[in-house]
Chains A and B, each alone.
Chain A
Amino acid sequence: MSAISIQSVSKRFPNGCEALMGINAEIQPGSFTVVLGPSGAGKSTLLRVLNGLEASTDGSVRIGGETLGKGNLRKLRASVAMVFQQFNLVDRLSVVTNVLTGRLAHRSWVGSLFYLFRTEDMEVARQALARVGLTDKAWSRADKLSGGQQQRVGIARALAQRPKVILADEPVASLDPVASEEIMALLREIRDRDGITVVVNLHQVDLARRFADRIIGMNGGRVVFDGTPAELSPQALRTIYQREGMEHDNSLDLALAYA
């Protein structure tokens, strides 16, 4: 059974923008998938639909065999963690509290009313922070950390949730090359050690080649490539990144030559 099953998913925004047009994909448990595509191809929308942050206008998403709907949204989110480009941490809370918010899905609102967590949740958060190497920053405020560190807090939050799937929406787009490398290695290590299914949106073709075991290419709301990194030929890259109305685009060749 697939970890995620995407069946002819379409998304049309109220302003008429067609972000996704009939996406089909099966994502295997414990796989590392990278979604490539130009800005506006629908990569982010796809991940947001998988997490239920956006509802698809057509088609269905199944997580671990269960169809995502309004009723089971919170239950399914408990097994699907998300890592964001802008980290989306609560700046004013301490690092460890941010990580603990990953535990909220498994806890009722009664304790939360007084900002109380169980000691076992604290232990989970501690382990998650140790995994990302931020134990010494546990009590700092989230906004006092550097971008790379904040993203590691984001990953710790995802880990604390004990998810089956981690969705990462351009997790390295606002980081320097070294921090990007660290974050990608961390995601890869999580996949290898915990067997968590990872789906990452990326702009960096080289990172995709090195870390993914499957690459999905998107353009204009459609899947235009689906294969292993080895199959990602220059021709495939051209298909992924080509723009509408530009048959022969020199800048495209130039840009992709260095990718």
Chain B
Amino acid sequence: MTTVSIWRWPTPSGLPPLPLVGGALALLGALWLTAPVVEVDFVRLLGALGRMVAFAGQMFVTPDWHYVPQLLAKMLETIEMTVLGTAIAIVVSLPLGLLAAGNATPHPLVYRITRDLLSLMRALPELVWALVFVSAVGLGPLPGVMALAFVTVGFMGKFFAEAIEVVDHKAVEGVRAHGAGWLQVRLFAMLPQALPDFVGTVMYILDHNLRAATILGLVGAGGIGYDLVMSMRLFQYDRLLLIALAIYLVVTLLDRLSDRLRSRIIHGARA
């Protein structure tokens, strides 16, 4: 008796597509092979459970309220670094994004070079660039801002370029057919359509940069990072608690703001 299966995949043979099966198997194999290398060890993880609970318990202390004014000042500095670094990056990334978008670039060679430049800029994390800039311009928030802006251009330029690449071609043609020039087509047809994606990217990057900025203090590049690391090293959990809470609050507020802004831009202002 032949078995007639009632289930099948929507392929000519009824079997799952080979690339999909192959890809899934390869992924599983890779996981199995690499787990020991990165020391993923569940037994050890279970053994450490007690210590983790103990550490978490230490976080429940009375906050050090005398630290609040200094915390606010440092937090403000962190936010300023974030906003400034991101703002500088937006100004630089917009033109770079146009050059790095396949449908907007003036020449394939320009596209290639810009893409490679952007990869270079985001190849190293903010912390490493901050080290470089600290040696160049000295301690303080300035090298922090420079490092943030630098890496952000690398990411934002790429995101902008990809947002421009997926804009509706019909509208681009509509503007082009009416005799608009090279730059005019990009400004009036491509950028407005890519705007919601841009805003989404900027909001995500603000979020990311805020968290990146909190750590730059580690190498003397300003912000809350220095206090964060010091309170951890000196076991001042009463301060650590406040710092973590402050960062969490700012990130959450930013998230709310970005939701509002995005929906306004996607759906237009409410009449």
Q: Once the chains bind, are A51 and B177 in contact (CB under 8 Å)?
A: yes
Nearest to B176 among chain A residues (CB) is A53
With an 8 A cutoff between CB atoms, is B180 at the interface?
yes
Any chain A CB within 8 A of the CB of B179? yes
Given known pairs A84-B174, A104-B184, the reply for A93 and B179 (CB within 8 Å) is no
Q: How many residues of B contact A (CB 8 A)?
A: 23
A225 to B182, CA, bound (A): 39
Contact A88–B171 (Cβ < 8 Å):
yes
Of A23-31, A74-82, A189-197, A205-213, the segment with at least 4 beta carbons within 8 Å of chain B is: A74-82
Distance A151 CA – B181 CA, assembled complex (angstroms): 23
B195 at the interface (CB under 8 A from A): yes
Q: Does A2 contact B (CB under 8 A)?
A: no
| Of A105-113, A129-137, A242-250, the one with at least 4 CB within 8 A of chain B | A105-113
The answer to whether A158 and B178 have CB atoms under 8 Å apart is yes
Chain B residues with CB under 8 Å of A56's CB are none
Chain A interface, DSSP helix/strand/loop, else mixed: mixed
How many residues belonging to A are interface residues under a CB distance threshold of 8 Å? 36
If A90-B193, A91-B193 touch, whether A82 touches B175 (CB-CB below 8 Å) is: no
**Cβ B170 vs Cβ A101 within 8 A:** no
Q: Is A144 an interface residue (CB 8 A)?
A: yes
Q: Tell whether B187 is near chain A: CB-to-CB under 8 Å.
A: yes
Q: Judging by beta carbons under 8 Å apart, are A90 and B188 in contact?
A: yes
Residue in B174, B177, B184 whose Cβ sees the most chain A Cβ within 10 Å = B177
In the bound assembly, the distance between CA atoms of A148 and B229 in angstroms comes to 63
Q: Kindly state whether residue A203 has any CB partner on chain B within 8 Å.
A: no
Q: How far is the CA of A106 from the CA of B181 in the complex (A)?
A: 10
- With both chains docked as a complex, state the minimum distance between the C-beta of B26 and any C-beta of chain A, in angstroms: 34
Can you list 26 contacts pairing A with B, beta carbon distance less than 8 Å? Answer: A51-B177, A53-B176, A77-B177, A88-B171, A88-B173, A88-B174, A88-B177, A89-B174, A90-B171, A91-B168, A92-B193, A93-B188, A101-B188, A102-B178, A104-B178, A104-B179, A104-B181, A104-B184, A105-B179, A107-B184, A108-B181, A109-B184, A112-B181, A113-B187, A141-B268, A161-B179
* Contact surface of A with B, Cβ cutoff 8 Å: 51, 53, 74-75, 77-78, 80-82, 84, 86-93, 97, 101-102, 104-109, 112-113, 115, 141, 144, 154, 157-158, 161
